[in-house]
Amino acid sequence: MQEQSLPFRFIVAALTSAPWLFSAPALADESQSSEQGPSESGGGVSGFIALGPAVSPEYEGSSDYEPVPLIISRVDALGLSLEIEGLDARLNVLPDSRFQFGPAVTYRPGRDDVSNDVVDRLSSIDDAFEFGGFLRYQFTELFDPRDEFELSAQVLADVTGTHEGLTATLGGGYAIFFGQRWRLGLDTGITFASDDYMQTYFGIDARDSARSGLQRYDSDGGLKDVGVEATLSYNFTERWGVLGRVEYTRLLGDAADSPIVDDEGSPDQLFGGLAISYRF
């Protein structure tokens, strides 16, 4: 999927902390703050981090999978909240309000040197950084005193000239707690993408058609995918715990019909991982 070696991708994911963008709408809930009580940190900084192994499609639309890190984190300081999930990051400027918003950034790996020989003949795609913002509104105590529900929206635009497009994601998430140690989070979202984004990742021009043998294909913007996600966590102690995550994304429209996906890949995209969590 990417130009870098696998070890380098692990380092980039850990350092940039900026996935897959089917945006996980309940990212802030992954901090498990409501179930673990107030932080004991004396320095004014508190937070949560979960780190472990996962598997993900090699590139968007691929039927080949590769190991990747699962990173979920939240750091609260100075009245702000930095939320990190894989290669996505958001700075929540109103973490204590029901209505929340702030800037967002995503690091989107490129596509090069992939396992599929046909797709590998296509022109390589550089890595991209995308900047934008998000909005979120949270509800509590809908069906249970400790449950959480939220609606969210996020828009990101490429600032590196890789695809020169943008994506918009609408999401919803619901979390419920069982006893003092278990939490189940269920999330869903849909992503729209512009013409430039779709043509970059799913289109095939005349040159790439000749090189790969795939049919020439023009991919227009619109609804790109729909996804669902489940995260189950368990706390061993006030600070230590474990969580597992499973995500399913279905590519739609021109993305699913692209020969890159329809002939050489799959519209069904899965992600799964297991992580150890620590609250500080």
Contact by Cβ (8 Å): 64, 211: no
pLDDT computed for residue 79 by the predictor: 94
DSSP state of 111: B
Amino acid type, 50: A
Strands (E), the chain: 46-57, 65-77, 80-85, 88-92, 99-108, 128-140, 148-158, 166-178, 182-193, 222-235, 240-251, 268-279
To the nearest 5 percent, what fractions of the chain are helix, strand and coil? 15, 50, 35
Domains of the chain: 6-279 (2.40.160.40)
Please write the tens of the pLDDT for every residue from 121-170.
Answer: 999 999 999 999 999 999 988 888 889 999 999 999 999 999 999 999 99
Please write the tens of the pLDDT for every residue from 252-273.
Answer: 999 999 999 999 999 999 999 9
DSSP state of 31: G
Q: Which residues contact 36 (CB under 8 A, 6 or more apart)?
A: 48, 235, 238, 239, 279
Place of tokens 């700075």: 91
Please write the tens of the pLDDT for every residue from 188-227.
Answer: 999 999 999 999 999 999 999 999 999 999 999 999 999 9
Please write the tens of the pLDDT for every residue from 54-96.
Answer: 999 999 999 999 999 999 999 999 999 999 999 999 999 999 9
pTM value is: 0.84
Cα 186 to Cα 220: distance, rounded to the nearest angstrom: 30
Please compute the mean of the pLDDT values over residues 236-250 and round it to a whole number.
97
pLDDT computed for residue 176 by the predictor: 95
Cα 239 to Cα 224: distance, rounded to the nearest angstrom: 39
State how beta strands 268-279 and 88-92 pair: unpaired
Cα 183 to Cα 171: distance, rounded to the nearest angstrom: 19
